């Protein structure tokens, strides 16, 4: 479903991703975990080409693009691959001058050129799916962070993407509001939505993910089924990281 081969990403002289090769199955959920600066979010953004790799290959479904020195990639090809994905950002990024339902409709009416009635019907279906139908006409400023993120998930699902990409979807939320988002993503996973998420939230990753990829310094340290990576990691670096993450989240829960 998703294949990344020999992905390299540099910002100037700083190599953020180096020779990353992974495959993610259709209808699976993959969690990208690791320390800050390890390359999780950059790898996620390389999947939908918000960041263009300096080298390597990205394939989603039947769409495939190769990158390298001297190789030019057409804007139309980038857009065609990007349309296979929906993106959920850390800080929601809802339009403040649009209601919840208008935020969900925006891409369908502006980009896909759907009639307004069709877009509104689809938007209501998605708001219902994420538990936000009652807030369809609310302004983002009147919604909690968890509610805003659920609207953002509905917006990302609107064009029926092949894969949903989530960049730290709970990190801007306190534990109680984060649970609302975890529950929504868990339901989507049970329905077979293909997802890739970059996250520090062990609760989210352990509950929702089928596969886990641990990244540090731009390379894959360990990957495998979530139960194995979280329950019995093979690399010492993975063990230390997961132990630290558990300790931090236990402390946060005690002080919540």
Angle between helices 116-129 and 100-110 (to 10 degrees): 130
The two tokens of residue 121 are 């019907």
Nearest to 213 by CA among 29, 67, 81: 29
pLDDT in tens, 194-240: 999 999 888 899 899 999 999 999 999 999 999 999 999 999 999 99
Q: Residues for the chain: how many in total?
A: 256
pLDDT of residue 253: 66
The two tokens of residue 253 are 């829960």
CB atoms closer than 10 angstroms to residue 98: 16
pLDDT in tens, 156-187: 999 999 999 999 999 888 888 899 999 999 99
Q: What are the backbone dihedrals phi and psi of residue 9, each rounded to the nearest 5 degrees, phi first?
A: -135, 125
pLDDT of residue 166: 97
Q: What is the mean pLDDT of residues 20-42?
A: 95
Q: Where are the domains of the chain?
A: 2-84+163-255, 93-160
Residue 252 has pLDDT above 70, yes or no: no
Residue range 2-84+163-255 in CATH 3.40.50.620: no
Distances (CA, A) of 160 to 1, 94, 163: 15, 19, 9
Query: For a pLDDT cut of 70, what percent of the chain falls above it?
Result: 98
Q: How far apart are the first and last CA of the chain?
A: 39
């Amino acid at each position: 479903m998703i294949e990344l081969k020999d992905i390299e990403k540099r910002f100037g002289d700083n190599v953020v991703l180096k020779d990353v090769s992974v495959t993610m199955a259709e209808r699976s959920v993959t969690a990208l975990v690791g320390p800050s600066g390890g390359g999780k979010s950059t790898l996620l953004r390389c999947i939908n080409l918000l960041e263009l790799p300096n080298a390597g290959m990205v394939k989603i479904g039947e769409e495939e693009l190769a990158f390298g020195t001297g190789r030019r990639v057409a804007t139309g090809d980038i857009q065609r691959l990007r349309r296979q994905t929906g993106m959920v950002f850390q800080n929601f990024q809802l339009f403040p001058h649009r209601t919840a339902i208008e935020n969900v409709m925006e891409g369908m009416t502006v980009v896909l050129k759907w009639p307004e009635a069709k877009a509104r019907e689809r938007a209501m279906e998605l708001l219902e799916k994420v538990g936000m139908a009652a807030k369809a006409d609310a302004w983002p400023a009147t919604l909690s962070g968890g509610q805003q993120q659920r609207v953002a998930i509905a917006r990302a699902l609107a064009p029926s993407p092949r894969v949903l990409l989530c960049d730290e979807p709970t990190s801007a939320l306190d534990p109680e509001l984060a649970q609302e988002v975890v529950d929504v993503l868990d339901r989507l996973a049970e329905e077979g939505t293909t997802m890739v998420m970059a996250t520090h939230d062990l609760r989210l990753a352990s509950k929702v993910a089928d596969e886990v990829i641990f990244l540090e310094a731009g390379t894959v340290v360990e990957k495998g089924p979530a139960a194995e990576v979280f329950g019995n990691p093979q690399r010492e670096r993975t063990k230390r990281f997961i132990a630290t993450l558990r300790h931090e989240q236990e402390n946060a829960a005690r002080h919540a």
